[in-house]
Amino acid sequence: MHDVQGTQVRPDAAGGLREAKKAATRTQLTTAARRLAVEHGLDAVTVEMISSAAGVSVRTFFNYFETKDAAVLGPDQAVAPDAAISAFLAGRPTGALLDDLVALLDPSDQLAREGRDGVQQLFDLVSREPRVLAAFLTRGMAHEADVARLVALRLGLAEPTTACRTVAAAAVTVVRRGYAEWFADPGPAAPLRARIEQAARELVALVRPADPPAD
Amino acid sequence: MHDVQGTQVRPDAAGGLREAKKAATRTQLTTAARRLAVEHGLDAVTVEMISSAAGVSVRTFFNYFETKDAAVLGPDQAVAPDAAISAFLAGRPTGALLDDLVALLDPSDQLAREGRDGVQQLFDLVSREPRVLAAFLTRGMAHEADVARLVALRLGLAEPTTACRTVAAAAVTVVRRGYAEWFADPGPAAPLRARIEQAARELVALVRPADPPAD
DNA sequence: CCGGATCCTGCAGTCCGTGCAATAATGCAT
DNA sequence: ATGCATTATTGCACGGACTGCAGGATCCGG
């Protein structure tokens, strides 16, 4: 029985059983941290509680995450899957920078990976616990820097210029706004992607207020 | 001698000597925290060092700031002076929303209040210490919410709509980008205000790529 | 000058986070 | 399968962050 408290453990592609078990415990820790934090509030949850819920020692907890907040946030993710990055660098899917950035940062696959409940839980904590918000925003800044590099590459530049960074900041801001609105009212009528596109339209409207309706 | 380690103490307008002394010690704590953090790195600086440098006990430190990071960041400031807010709400100075937001958030007066060195010191820490960055970004989110409320008021709305929040996010992002570039190269040739306006132009260029040059 | 309110301070305690060294588990080659 | 090298887990000890509490000092108004 190669499992850790119910979480499937199977050797994923490269890397043996060792890596798979590590990934499983990391997931376990994050899951336990989020559940306990939602239930009791982050301050009332000790690292000892999270660790024992995941079946490891407190010392091991700190081998996986630097801080309690980081465990709630979960392991860092790439800004987008490789396929999406390749497409973006090749000028796809539309050729328009802002639209392609929205497509690049489209988080629907992350939603599928963590599950709708997990993401809802995380955003719940982001909006309720200032420390989780702080960690979340810090990670967002790192993602913004990654996006700036990708924009530079797409434009054939070796290093991101000021404009690349501003464009990246705008794109990340639009996606963040979409997330926030989706979380505030996660009805099925307006899926996450639609919220993000709505935020993009609002940004365009700010800059082109006198624009005639396009369609 | 009503002073605290060289910081002037005079009863500011309303509030007696008590309030003035409190403000003085708060400033002292932030000044000491920043100086020590720049010198030794934030992790190597203990609250005890900061407290004794400011001439108060450790326990008193925590009466002024909730965390060590908060002391480095300094006391919270209003998003803009009252006069600038009134002007913004009245549709000034230009009538164009984005331009007026840039004017509203123009931080030149904060620069004058804290002094160029203090702000440079703070940004130095923001870029070097992840914990200070996290606190800084969290405060930025609060400011963004304030700005969204102001936008709503200017448009005659009681509550900020989705568009108000997106507009506020875009404006705060532009100002943040200007700050970042100014800090990366604080030459006198390109003052802070010019950097912010440059970032605003970059945002416009993202949305209106085919625009003919205006001037 | 005095009473009430407010602030400062020390103390004890909990929890976070880290270096270190011993132990246990794993992967690999034979 | 078995022994060996590598790596993960754990306990321990420690410093530092942060919080109630209670006693004492300071300030403000009369």
Hey, are the CB atoms on B169 and A173 less than 8 Å from each other? Answer: yes
**Helices in chain A by DSSP H: which ranges?**
17-40, 47-54, 58-64, 68-73, 82-89, 97-104, 108-128, 130-154, 162-184, 192-207
Instruction: Count residue pairs from A and B with Cβ separation < 8 A.
Output: 88
With beta carbons under 8 A apart, name residues in chain B contacting A177.
162, 165-166, 169
The C1' atom of C23 and the CA atom of A59 lie apart, in whole Å, by 14
Report the alpha-carbon distance of residue A194 to residue B1 in Å, rounded.
64
* Residue A129 in tokens: 């616990």
pLDDT category at A15 given cuts 50, 70, 90 is low
Q: Is residue B214 scored above 60 in pLDDT? A: no
Q: Which of A115, A43, A128 is nearest to A74 (CA)?
A: A115
With beta carbons under 8 A apart, name residues in chain B contacting A203.
166, 170, 207
Q: What is the DSSP letter of A213?
A: P
Residue A56's identity, in one-letter code, is V
Pick the residue of B99, B136, B141, B202 with the most A CBs within 10 A to test the interface with A by mutation.
B202
| Average pLDDT of the residues in B29-34 | 97
Quote the percentage of chain A above a pLDDT of 70: 89
CB B174 within 8 A of CB A66: no
Contact A210/B at CB under 8 A: no
Distance from the B164 Cα atom to the nearest Cα atom in chain A, whole angstroms: 9
DSSP secondary structure string for all residues of chain B: ---BTTB-----SSS-HHHHHHHHHHHHHHHHHHHHHHHH-GGG--HHHHHHHHTS-HHHHHHH-SSHHHHHH-S---SS-HHHHHHHHTT-SSS-HHHHHHHHT-THHHHHHH-HHHHHHHHHHHHH-HHHHHHHHHHHHHHHHHHHHHHHHHTT-SS--HHHHHHHHHHHHHHHHHHHHHHHS--TTS-HHHHHHHHHHHHHHHH-TTPPP--
Pick the residue of B76, B206, B211 with the most A CBs within 10 A to test the interface with A by mutation.
B206
pLDDT category at B110 given cuts 50, 70, 90 is confident
pLDDT of amino acid B113: 76
**SS3 at position A4:** strand
Question: What spatial distance separates the first Cα and last Cα of chain A, rounded to whole Å?
Answer: 59
Rounded to the nearest integer, the mean pLDDT of chain A is 89
With beta carbons under 8 A apart, name residues in chain A contacting B166.
174, 177, 199, 202-203, 206
Report the alpha-carbon distance of residue A188 to residue A116 in Å, rounded.
12
Supply angle C-alpha B131, B110, B5, rounded to 5: 75
CB B50 within 8 A of CB B67: no
* Residue A162 in tokens: 């000021």
| Average pLDDT of the residues in A17-29 | 90
**In this predicted model, what pLDDT tens digit does every residue of A113-145 receive, in sequence order?**
778 888 889 999 999 999 999 999 999 999 999
Helical axes A82-89 vs A130-154, angle rounded to 10°: 40
Minimum-distance CB partner of B97 among A167, A176, A206? A206
Torsion of CA B86, B92, B93, B94, to 10 degrees: 160
Supply angle C-alpha A128, A34, B145, rounded to 5: 20
Q: Which residue has the higher pLDDT, A116 or B5?
A: A116
Report the alpha-carbon distance of residue B70 to residue B87 in Å, rounded.
31
Question: What spatial distance separates the first Cα and last Cα of chain B, rounded to whole Å?
Answer: 59
Report the alpha-carbon distance of residue B22 to residue B13 in Å, rounded.
14
Q: Which of the residue ranges A9-18, B4-13, B102-111 would you say has the lowest mean pLDDT?
A: B4-13
Q: Is residue B14 scored above 90 in pLDDT? A: no
Report the alpha-carbon distance of residue B27 to residue B86 in Å, rounded.
28
In what helix (H) or strand (E) does residue A7 lie, and over which residues does it extend? strand A7-8
Kindly list the distances between the CA atom of residue B59 and the CA atoms of B45, B50, B55, B210, in Å, as whole numbers in the listed order: 16, 12, 12, 60
With beta carbons under 8 A apart, name residues in chain B contacting A208.
207-208
Report the alpha-carbon distance of residue A192 to residue A180 in Å, rounded.
9
pLDDT of amino acid B15: 56
